[in-house]
């Protein structure tokens, strides 16, 4: 508890320092608004609904891309992870694709799909799939072999083995991968919005900066930070709930 209070105190200290720097005009107010002005811009943005629609746009990009990456990543990871042969055959291709910077993929995606929502979805999903898929492969490969024997002795069907043995056993790994991907999805949402001019906070931030509306710019940045923070907390809560059995170890 005392640590939580301390962490809030540190955060408040940073905000205070920011206000001090802004008040002393160490940096021109054209570029650096104080927290008071940023907060006012944030409230104004919500009041007019401008910022709300941008926030919804970013959340949509992030959610769709992340969900697509999760579904595809878990399915592919399960397929590859549950077969040693698949791992041997597919691993080299994965090792080639994985380290590719997503920024290098974006021009390719734009060339093929245009400046569209589909392009954004593809880029976000492509970037976010790796942590999930690799974690799922690891999780499926690490299932206790004894449990497969138990399943054989019970003559369980193949789908039953996947859903009752392999998937729950790999769940801690999968959730850890999904948590990493959440951050990747947010970053790529912003990048796609900036590059393709799609409706969202990335676009808002870019336009505000170009128009020297520094308060609006900071409002957008604060909102992006808050989005990352809140989704991460939601993910933690989901993990704690789904992995309740682990806390008993």
Neighbours of 241 (CB within 10 A): 8
Measured CA to CA in angstroms, residue 149 lies from 82, 145, 248 at distances of: 14, 7, 25
Looking at the Cβ atoms of 169 and 183, the one nearer to other proteins is 169
- Angle CA(235)–CA(241)–CA(244) in degrees, nearest 5? 130
Helix and strand counts by DSSP (H, E) for the chain: 11, 0
Of 165, 176, 194, 221, which one interacts with other proteins (CB under 8 A)?
Answer: 165
* Residue 168 lies near other proteins (rule: CB under 8 A): yes
Identify which range of 79-87, 123-131, 156-164, 228-236 contacts other proteins by CB under 8 A: 156-164
* Residue 150 lies near other proteins (rule: CB under 8 A): yes
Closest approach of other proteins to the CB of residue 175, in Å = 12
Looking at the Cβ atoms of 31 and 245, the one nearer to other proteins is 245
For residues 230 to 249, the per-residue mask of contacts with other proteins, x marking binding by CB under 8 A and - elsewhere, is -------------x-x--xx
Helices 84-97 & 50-81 angle (0-180, nearest 10): 140
Closest CA to 55 of 65, 45, 70: 45
Of 153, 159, 210, 241, which one interacts with other proteins (CB under 8 A)?
Answer: 153
Of 156, 180, 194, 207, which one interacts with other proteins (CB under 8 A)?
Answer: 156
Closest approach of other proteins to the CB of residue 157, in Å = 8
- Token pair in block for residue 125: 């999903």
Write the Ramachandran bin of 197: left for phi over 0, alpha for psi from -120 to 50, otherwise beta: left
CA-CA-CA-CA torsion sign (188, 191, 197, 201): positive
Of 2, 88, 155, 158, which one interacts with other proteins (CB under 8 A)?
Answer: 155
Terminal CA-CA length for the chain: 24
For residues 8 to 47, the per-residue mask of contacts with other proteins, x marking binding by CB under 8 A and - elsewhere, is ----------------------------------------
Report the interface residues with other proteins, using CB under 8 A. 144, 146-147, 149-156, 160, 164-165, 168-169, 171, 243, 245, 248-249
């Amino acid at each position: 508890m005392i640590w939580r209070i301390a962490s809030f105190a540190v955060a408040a200290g940073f905000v205070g320092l920011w206000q001090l720097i802004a008040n002393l005009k160490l940096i021109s107010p054209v570029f650096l608004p104080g927290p008071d002005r940023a907060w006012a811009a944030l409230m104004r943005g919500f009041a007019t609904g401008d910022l709300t629609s941008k926030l919804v746009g970013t959340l949509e990009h992030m959610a769709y891309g992340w969900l697509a990456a999760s579904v595809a990543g878990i399915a592919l990871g399960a397929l590859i992870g549950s077969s040693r042969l698949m791992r041997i055959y597919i691993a080299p291709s994965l090792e080639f694709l994985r380290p590719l910077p997503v920024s290098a993929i974006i021009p390719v995606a734009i060339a093929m799909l245009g400046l569209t929502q589909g392009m954004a979805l593809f880029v976000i999903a492509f970037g976010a799939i790796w942590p999930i898929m690799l974690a799922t492969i690891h999780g499926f490969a690490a299932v206790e072999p004894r449990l497969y024997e138990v399943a054989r002795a019970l003559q369980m069907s193949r789908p039953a083995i996947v859903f009752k043995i392999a998937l729950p056993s790999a769940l801690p790994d999968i959730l850890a991968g999904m948590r990493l991907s959440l951050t990747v999805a947010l970053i790529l949402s912003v990048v796609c919005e900036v590059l393709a001019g799609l409706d969202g906070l990335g676009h808002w931030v870019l336009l505000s900066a170009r128009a020297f509306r520094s308060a609006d710019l900071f409002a957008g940045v604060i909102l992006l930070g808050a989005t990352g923070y809140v989704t991460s907390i939601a993910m933690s809560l989901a993990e704690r709930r789904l992995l309740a059995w682990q806390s008993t170890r």
